[in-house]
């Protein structure tokens, strides 16, 4: 009877220890990514800026060459 009792007690200890040790730790979720420091310029805004720069250069070149401006008006 003592053998059965000691065997049952030993088996209970082994099973409970195995159950406690076999549990996986709770996973920790990764931290959220930091907010973006700067927002990239949209392609449409870049195109708009390039068009404005081109128009400005065209007007500046017409102001510097008044005789070419009069020639364009006569042919049109």
pLDDT in tens, 28-70: 889 887 776 665 656 677 778 888 999 988 888 888 876 655 5
Q: Look at residue 37 in the predicted model and tell me its pLDDT.
A: 61
- SS3 for 67? helix
The pTM (predicted TM-score) of the whole model is: 0.33
Dist. CA 62–CA 72, nearest whole Å: 10
Q: Please tell me the predicted confidence (pLDDT) of residue 71.
A: 54
pLDDT at 13: 80
Classify each residue of 26-61 as buried b or exposed e, where b means 16 or more C-beta atoms within 10 Å of its C-beta: eeeeeeeeeeeeeeeeeeeeeeeeeeeeeeeeeeee
pLDDT at residue 75 in the model: 56
């Amino acid at each position: 009877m003592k053998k059965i009792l000691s065997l049952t007690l030993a088996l209970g200890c082994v099973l409970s220890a195995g159950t406690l040790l076999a549990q996986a730790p709770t996973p920790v979720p990764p931290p959220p990514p930091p907010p973006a420091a700067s927002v990239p310029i949209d392609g449409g805004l870049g195109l708009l800026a390039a068009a404005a720069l081109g128009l400005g250069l065209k007007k500046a070149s017409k102001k510097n060459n008044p005789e070419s401006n009069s020639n364009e008006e006569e042919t049109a």
